[in-house]
């Protein structure tokens, strides 16, 4: 198993998307890239800690590759808006890839320069950073979409991303 760490707005959206991919063993919402240890959701929401809302994806590379994860990542969020996804604004919602090793770093750099730039007409602002301390989000954030499918945010924000995934990446779905 390998791990990938992506931030692309609200972690509830990313979690719902990546949970549906074959080869993905688990997806956990959490925080990374900030200055304090063990931050809370309230601290993250202040935008003052430097952390991003991210997902930790544990995947089997013999079933789904890191490059395929990158296709889904860049295909289901907007990597051209700095510190924002829709109405979610702040550094905690930035587009970011925290790479685990040099191979992931090089693959992500190449993907952002080529495939991602072909997917989006505007400049890609996704941050590429080395892995830092990871902190799991509070329990109520985990599996949020699946546990709250009728909640307003889930219906109007997350569901369209899941539908986009289902339409564009059918070959990668469980």
What is the tens place of the pLDDT at every residue in 81-112? 999 888 888 899 999 999 999 999 999 999 99
pLDDT at 86: 80
CA 142 and chain centroid, separation: 14
Domains annotated on the chain, with CATH: 2-172 (3.30.1060.10)
Contact 19, 152 (CB under 8 A): no
pTM of the model: 0.95
> Which has the closest alpha carbon to 60: 4, 142, 123?
4
pLDDT at 143: 96
Q: How far apart are CA 59 and CA 109, in angstroms?
A: 20
Structure tokens at 146: 């699946």
For residue 45, indicate whether it is catalytic: no
Exactly one of 10, 13, 45, 154 is catalytic; name it. 10
> Which has the closest alpha carbon to 33: 130, 167, 163?
130
Residues in CB range of 20: below 8 A, 6 or more apart: 162, 165, 166, 173, 174
What is the tens place of the pLDDT at every residue in 16-62? 999 999 999 999 999 999 999 999 999 999 989 999 999 999 999 99
């Amino acid at each position: 198993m390998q791990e990938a760490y992506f931030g692309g707005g609200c972690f509830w959206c990313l979690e719902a998307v990546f949970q549906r991919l074959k080869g993905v063993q688990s997806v956990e919402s959490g925080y990374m890239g900030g200055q304090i240890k063990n931050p809370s959701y309230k601290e993250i929401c202040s935008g003052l800690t430097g952390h991003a809302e991210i997902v930790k994806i544990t995947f089997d590379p013999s079933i789904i590759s890191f490059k395929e994860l990158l296709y889904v990542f860049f295909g289901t969020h907007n990597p051209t808006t700095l510190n924002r996804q829709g109405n979610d604004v702040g550094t905690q919602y930035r587009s970011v890839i925290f790479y685990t090793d040099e191979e992931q770093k090089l693959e992500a750099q190449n993907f952002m320069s080529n495939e991602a730039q072909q997917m989006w007409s505007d400049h890609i602002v996704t941050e590429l950073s080395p892995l830092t301390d990871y902190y799991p989000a509070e329990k109520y954030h985990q599996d949020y979409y699946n546990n709250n499918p009728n909640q307003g945010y889930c219906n109007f924000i997350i569901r369209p991303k899941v539908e986009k995934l289902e339409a564009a990446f059918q070959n990668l779905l469980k």
